[in-house]
Chain A
């Protein structure tokens, strides 16, 4: 029998359901990363999961992103598309106690470290103190494990079952 593993994509996904017995659907804070990315601006960091200060953010990978940096480790998981990540070792990295990612200018100071090419299911380390920039060779979706920061966008009413 042929195996068929079902993955989602920004152009082909099916959102699940909640059958309630008691309580409220909004307590499950239920969304779908592909739907969120489909309705977001390019590289908007939309929070889809929050556990106190920790978050999972979804990005629509569309064209070239700004340069980002972070004082702590972050991780990006490519959920759809093909995405190149460029890295710069920053001369002056963000403080380690600054939570979440920050925006840098067009040309952050520092040495080019190289790049990583991601496809669906690939996870990359966005190491503390390194600047990073995404380039989508086709429309895609990224999920980032990080901490709530200045760039985190919370719009729960727009993305969740209520």
Chain B
């Protein structure tokens, strides 16, 4: 890999508000007291788009933490990324029906290392002291204002990788040393009883998943808790709004474990609304491969996200070999 692949192009800090601006290919990204502004070229002119700084930083934080995730991560109805697993597209308007039709959209592909380094540098510079882009709004301070300190700890989280199941020897840890979130104060904290016969000590394994989730210190961040070949259980705790509109390059499933989430579902390519799906405890729903979705959760809730990481799926959905709908009945 070339040494300059990950080189970040950043300006000196602005005299006016203290923030740096960044260049990503032909995109320019900057922030001020309230907004992040993105510029790109189209039809021989300079185009622009603005997002509130808090919304942009929450979205960018997820994209970084998920390593660009699966498929499309729309920061809003205009800008976002598409993961090609090694290469990543950054786009403006390409998956907005109106902007695309007008020809004012722009997409550029980058080496994943380069766009990741740039996004991380933006987060380090643009996240102020006291603002946690992983937290729900009532749990953190403001993203607004001129540059003031930083919150490196909040953005440099290490992604937990689980090989089989948390708590097994050599696998990811349980969360006994993390506090119970205030919104899950009533969730029982007792663990399953494990009674192994002599000679089988340590060979039976169980833990309280609901206790584990009640101690999650972040929102909207699927983490693996069970691995059955390419089938990954990725439950997470949700509060406020999913900071991105996720368009998957494969089918995924949601199982609501507690409380309630409403999902806004739109066309993956144009963003046109298709449905609002309300899920309550025990509900199971597929998210087809041709939609994008964004969830709303008033109370912090437990959601079981279920993924299939079989290699080559995006091509099989894109070619039409696989239906976007997982079950025909």
Contacts and interface: CB of A to CB of B under 8 A. Distances in A.
Contact of B326 (A35, A51, A72, A117): A51
A123 to B, nearest CB: 4
A75 B226 contact: yes
| From A5, A8, A116, A145, residue with most partner B Cβ within 10 Å | A5
Contacts of B283: 15-16, 30-33
B145 interface: no
B12 interface: no
Interface string A37-80: 00000000000111110101000000000000000111101010
B109 interface: no
Contact of A56 (B197, B210, B255, B280): B255
A134 interface: no
A147 interface: yes
B184 A72 contact: no
B313 to A, nearest CB: 8
Interface residues of A, number: 68
Contacts of A107: none
A21 B209 contact: no
B310 A52 contact: yes
Contact of A6 (B207, B226, B259): B259
A54 B231 contact: yes
Contacts of B225: 123
Given A28-B285, A51-B231, A123-B207, A22 B274 contact: yes
B43 interface: no
Contacts of A6: 258-260, 280-281, 299
Interface string B295-314: 00001000000101010000
A122 B206 contact: yes
A78 to B, nearest CB: 8
B34 interface: no
Contact of A156 (B168, B196, B230, B329): B329
B281 A13 contact: yes
A19 B262 CA distance: 10
Nearest to B278: A16
B280 A156 contact: no
Given A87-B204, A121-B209, A14 B273 contact: no
Contacts of B190: 119
B282 interface: yes
Given A50-B327, A116-B204, A21 B273 contact: yes
A56 B324 CA distance: 19
Interface in B172-195: 182-188, 190-195
Contact of B276 (A19, A125, A160): A19
A113 B200 contact: yes
Contacts of A151: none
Interface string B191-228: 11111110110011111111100000000000001111
A115 interface: yes
A16 B279 contact: yes
B209 A116 contact: no
| From B258, B283, B286, residue with most partner A Cβ within 10 Å | B283
A98 interface: no
Contact of B277 (A28, A74, A118, A157): A28
A75 B165 contact: yes
B197 A13 contact: no
Contact of A51 (B204, B209, B227, B306): B306
Contact of B253 (A7, A16, A49): A49
A91 to B, nearest CB: 15
Interface in A66-110: 72-75, 77, 79, 87, 89
A16 B280 contact: yes
A116 B229 contact: no
Given A49-B306, A146-B228, A26 B281 contact: no
B304 to A, nearest CB: 8
Interface of A: 2-8, 13-23, 25-35, 48-52, 54, 56, 72-75, 77, 79, 87, 89, 111-125, 127, 143, 145-147, 154, 156-157, 160
26 contacts: A4-B186, A17-B278, A19-B275, A22-B274, A27-B288, A28-B277, A29-B325, A33-B255, A51-B253, A73-B228, A74-B228, A75-B228, A111-B199, A113-B196, A114-B194, A117-B192, A120-B210, A121-B209, A121-B211, A122-B206, A123-B207, A127-B203, A145-B226, A145-B306, A146-B228, A147-B228
Given A19-B276, A31-B283, A79-B257, 6 more contacts: A8-B282, A22-B275, A115-B204, A116-B194, A121-B187, A123-B165
